[in-house]
Amino acid sequence: MELKELIYELPSSLIAAYPARERTASRLLVLRRHTGEIIDSVFSELGTFLDPGDLLVLNDTKVFPARLQGRKESGGKVEVLLLESFPGRDNLWIAVIDAAKTPGAGQRLEFAGGLTAEIIGELGRARFALDFRRGGEPADPLQAGGEPPLPPYIRRTREAAAIDWERYQTVYAACSGAIAAPTAGFHFTPELLDQLRAQGIDRALLTLHVGPGTFQPIRAEQVEHHRMEGERYVLPAEAVEKINRTKSLGRRVVAVGSTSTRTLEWVALKKGRVEADEGIARLFIRPGDRFRVIDALITNFHLPGSTPLALVAAFAGLGLVRRAYEEAIRLRYRFYSYGDAMLIL
């Protein structure tokens, strides 16, 4: 498959800079794969498209304040995106550094509150090892006033607003470790989840800590040549029991987002079935791949040439997804992380 098949034109005015006023007020485009029907709805009406016995599978990863803004010793601005700490060493982190001129090993970065970081080595793939200190003593940068790591396509100053602390997070987020949110879950509220449960629509939780690989653009001209970066996941026994019971009863497993989908399909591919598991997921789902677990998908509208868009095209068919995106653009849906949602049945 050629990358150009995953490219589409989007008016910049449709890129959502802020979330909807209320989570469930987001619009919902319903796409029926077997008939090609497209329905314009709102997320608060999700229950009208699901059946008793359906199971929502949600990713409960929690975004941590991974973005630090500071200066190099020379005075130039620098932005650091924390990825993960070294085991047992809260002051040592792997990070991405964004600056007009990338600093090298031995240089020091300065942040608010007297926090500093020495670059102790380059790890490849634009990753660096940083040693954080305050007053010469080891310091945890997460205690230094980091910000929610908003994606670069959110076109405002990218300074975190008060609303981002609440809304760049799902209401069921529990396990800290993500540098980007599983955005398909943004549209749920506790009230909507309770309403769905009262209709006989249960939910199961898994964890996949979203890393930079999820949003890394596909750079290979042949899509199949792209390689996903690994992301840590946990699929607990309680979720497995619910998933297998749902499948045995002939009901639908409804994945909420590409991260939930990739976790379930990775485990099923690796193990031959859905069972409790944890580890590193590296699955890149693209058109032509077979789905072993999910029967329906809730997702946002994704960037051109991205791996989540390839996954959606694999699930619904590229032609149908193109038609759905054209309709969403015609109807002025909002796109990307803070945008509207699509339900694929």
Distance CA 147, CA 245 (A): 40
132 by DSSP, 3-state: which?
A: strand
Whether the CB-CB separation of 46 and 28 falls below 8 Å is answered with yes
Same fold yes or no, 3-63+162-344 and 67-143? no
Report the 3 state secondary structure along 179-244: CCCCHHHHHCCHHHHHHHHHCCCEEEEEEECCCHHHHCCCCCCEHHHCCCCCEEEEECHHHHHHHH
Q: Top-level CATH class of 3-63+162-344?
A: alpha beta
**Residue 125 pLDDT greater than 90, yes or no:** no
Instruction: Give the pLDDT score at 205.
Output: 98
Whether the CB-CB separation of 212 and 228 falls below 8 Å is answered with no
pLDDT digits (tens, 9 = 90+) for 276-327: 999 999 999 999 999 999 999 999 999 999 999 999 999 999 999 999 999 9
**Residue 77 pLDDT greater than 70, yes or no:** yes
Q: What is the CATH number of domain 67-143?
A: 2.40.10.240
How many C-alpha atoms does 300 have within 13 Å on its Cβ side? Answer: 26
pLDDT digits (tens, 9 = 90+) for 40-72: 999 999 999 999 999 999 999 999 999 999 999
Percent of the chain with pLDDT over 90: 88
pLDDT band at 158 (very low <50, low <70, confident <90, very high): low
Mean pLDDT over the full length of the chain? 95
Instruction: Give the pLDDT score at 146.
Output: 86
Residue ranges covered by each domain of the chain: 3-63+162-344, 67-143
Whether the CB-CB separation of 284 and 229 falls below 8 Å is answered with no
Burial of 190 from C-beta contacts in 10 A (0-12 / 13-18 / 19+):
exposed
Instruction: Give the pLDDT score at 157.
Output: 60
Whether the CB-CB separation of 96 and 81 falls below 8 Å is answered with yes
Distance CA 186, CA 170 (A): 5
The whole-model pTM stands at: 0.94
